[in-house]
Amino acid sequence: MEIIKYLNEVKEYLYGDLENYKKICNEVKTKEKLQLNVKTPITASSENAPSGKSSTDIPPISTSTTTPTTTAFPGSNQGHPKYFRSTIPHVLSLFATIDFVGFLQSDRKVAPNTIDNIKDFFTDCKEITEEEIRILAIFFRNGHSHQYFAKYGFGISDSNPDFKNRNLFYLDSKENITLNVEILIELTKRQFDQILKIYNNGDEPLLKKAEEQYIKIIEENNEKKKKLSSDLDSVKYKNKLGS
């Protein structure tokens, strides 16, 4: 079936990208450790520094798509060095996979129902609750998809600095809810592998449902393509002229 071919291709590209993401994180961790060994002057005044420490003794705080979290909002950690790990672009690839594969598991006629798609993807996954799914969808998936940063000052990290805590979320030093991407990757890969195993083993009811949902998406895309045919022809013509 076409859906099996498609999902196996998705898996190959997704897991390959995640391996590269891991390499980026390890490279930046090395760089960050070197920086942490150097006293870095920052814009904080000594009166805002912890007791007994000057502002130059405060270790750098990572921001943007980095660890320990992203900026709660742009500019919130001005004066601190930034370590870029490509965390947000890679977590978006996870959300795209979760959303799409979750829809294939459902009987819904309309694909854009993110919370329900995520629920269906994580069916039987004991490590994630319904409350966490709602937070993941509304504050993180929608935030990163539509405004780059997570919503409402929440953060994102490639891993939890407290290695004993293996939860999907944790609180940073300012008590902002922070998404632990390392755990999201583990949960996503485990669920995806289980779903693919069921499909590859030929579970007829589930496979038939997934194939029907996949065909539905293809048909919708073809309809959109027809409606945009004049726009597509214009783009093709423009590029032919430029060749």
pLDDT digits (tens, 9 = 90+) for 169-209: 988 777 778 898 999 999 999 999 999 998 888 877 888 88
pLDDT of residue 200: 86
Q: Which two tokens stand for residue 79?
A: 């004066």
By percentage, how much of the chain surpasses pLDDT 70? 76
pLDDT of residue 227: 85
Beta carbons of 195 and 3 less than 8 angstroms apart: no
Gap between the Cα atoms of 76 and 58, Å rounded: 16
Beta carbons of 156 and 91 less than 8 angstroms apart: yes
Phi, psi of 105 (to 5 degrees): -80, -10
Regions of the chain with pLDDT less than 50: 39-71
pLDDT of residue 49: 39
Gap between the Cα atoms of 112 and 96, Å rounded: 11
Phi, psi of 170 (to 5 degrees): -150, 170
> CA 18, 116, 223 angle in degrees (round to 5)?
85
Radius of gyration of the chain (CA): 22
> Helix or strand or coil: residue 155?
strand
Beta carbons of 83 and 27 less than 8 angstroms apart: no
What's the whole-model pTM score? 0.79
Q: Which two tokens stand for residue 65?
A: 């798509």
Beta carbons of 130 and 119 less than 8 angstroms apart: yes
| Cα pseudo-dihedral 221, 227, 232, 237, rounded to 10 | 150
